Structure 1
Amino acid sequence: MSDAAQSETNKTRAESIPGIERATGRSWAEWVEIFESQGARTLPHPKIAIVARAAVPETLANPDWWAQGIAIAYEQHAGLRVPGQSSTGTFRVSASRTLSADRDAIIDAWAALAETRTEHLGHAPGEPRRSRTDKRTFWRLDLDGAGRVEVAASPKTDDKVIVAVSQDGLPDGNRIEEWRAHWKALLAEL
């Protein structure tokens, strides 16, 4: 891990840095210099992501995805956001699990499990909503005072499906790990 990733003033999630360095062939210090030379501390997230995308090697698979991740790591490094915080200032958490089942059956099982609860960590759920696209099956609801929850089931292989829970709009990051544990516990019941 680079010295920059270990710095006490660096708020970037330490596990992000080695992957960025390996994938791009640049040290974290080089990435910081790229952003600083472009005045990224004063830019909104979309412009920081453009700076990152311009510096991502063209040979890297999924360069847009990497650019987003590198931009977020820089924003955390520069104190523009903390881990778990979105570019809008709210917080998010996610958890996932891979299962052997049909994606629609997984969402049915999730609904049967989650819709019997009158609260999630003290927050009342709104009316659940379902939808389906060619690629994913969704289950969504709002939680009073705790943002929005989306569960998406998408095929990973012919016989495996990834079910991912994401919660957006948390007012602060104080309960992120508590929420992650909650969603992981429900996923484990599937």
Structure 2
Amino acid sequence: MPVNPRIGPIERTTGRTWDEWLRFLDAIGARDLDHGAIALRVYEELGDVFEQRGWWTQSVTVAYEHHIGRRVPGQRSDGTFQTSVSRATPLPMTELMARWRAFADGDAAVQEVVAGGTPRVSGTDRRTTWRTRAVDGSSVVVTSEPKRNGTASLVATQVGLPTPEANEAARERWTGIVARFLAGVAPGR
């Protein structure tokens, strides 16, 4: 079985080997628990000393579900699939989202994916999000998140895809869309 790329970071961050995590998970009967119940036990086990405790809880839980064959990479706990494409940009968060909105409104590939209607846009000082439904019933979420240097990243995510093949096709499509968008993005352009 190929090594799960999550395991190295889990071991470094938690200070436990993967075998130690497997012993813990076996001891709590994790094979017979659903995702939420496993995550709760891992969360409790990690304790209050971890930054991003929820993130590492999910990392351990999902890696375990991959290990026992309950999920394949990209699969969510509800059985559907999710893909994301993330890229750094030279723009600040607000300008990045404004440019994304203008691009998405006129880009044929984006319009081919979305189901119509007006995307919802919401935001805080931590992120701005553009959300819409795709023609296949899945959700599309594009997020602009600030970085420390005043620029922002763009993350395009499609959630609720029915198969690994649909997931891979969505990843390829969004990789192309994001690359095309970023090719036309430069500060002050």
Count the aligned residue pairs: 180
The one-letter code matched in structure 2 to 1:113 is F
Q: CA deviation at 1:163?
A: 1.4
Is residue 69 of structure 1 aligned with residue 53 of structure 2? no
Matching of residue 92 in structure 1 with residue 101 in structure 2: no
TM-superposition CA deviations, 1:136-172 (whole Å, max 9, x none) = 2111111111501011112112421121111111011
Alignment of 1:41 with 2:41, yes or no, is no
Structure 1 residues 120, 57: CA separation in 2 closer, same or farther (over 3 Å shift)? same
Aligned to 1:126, the other structure's residue is in SS state coil
For 1:14 and 1:164, how far apart are their aligned partners in 2? 23
Equivalents in 2 of 1:124, 1:153: separation in Å? 19
Question: CA shift at 1:126, angstroms?
Answer: 2.4
Gaps of 5+ in 2: 183-189
The yes-or-no answer on 1:78 pairing with 2:68 is yes
| Alpha carbons 1:118, 1:124 under 8 Å: kept | no
User: What is the CA RMSD across the aligned residues, in angstroms?
Assistant: 2.2
Question: Cα deviation per residue 1:40-63 (whole Å; 9 max; x = unaligned)?
Answer: 112121110122123326543222
Which one has the bigger helix percentage? 2
| 8 Å Cα contact 2:4-2:63 kept in structure 1 | no
Q: In structure 2, do the counterparts of structure 1 residues 14 and 131 end up closer, same or farther at CA, with 3 Å as the change threshold?
A: same
Would you identify which runs of 4 or more consecutive aligned residues in structure 1 move more than 6 Å?
A: none
Q: Percent identity?
A: 35
Residues 1:126 and 2:138 are matched in the alignment: no
Task: Specify the alignment match of 1:50 in structure 2.
Answer: 40
Residue 99 of structure 1 aligns to which amino acid in structure 2? T
What is the TM-score with the length of structure 2 in the denominator? 0.84
- Structure 2: distance between partners of 1:16 and 1:57: 20
Report what 1:142 is aligned to: 133
TM-superposed deviation, 1:96 = 0.9
Q: Is the CA contact (8 Å cut-off) linking 2:109 and 2:177 kept in structure 1?
A: no
Deviations 1:109-129 (A, max 9, x none): 212222224555964532222
- Establish whether residue 24 from structure 1 lines up as the match of residue 14 from structure 2: yes
> Do the aligned residues in 2 keep the contact of 1:136 with 1:153 (CA within 8 Å)?
yes
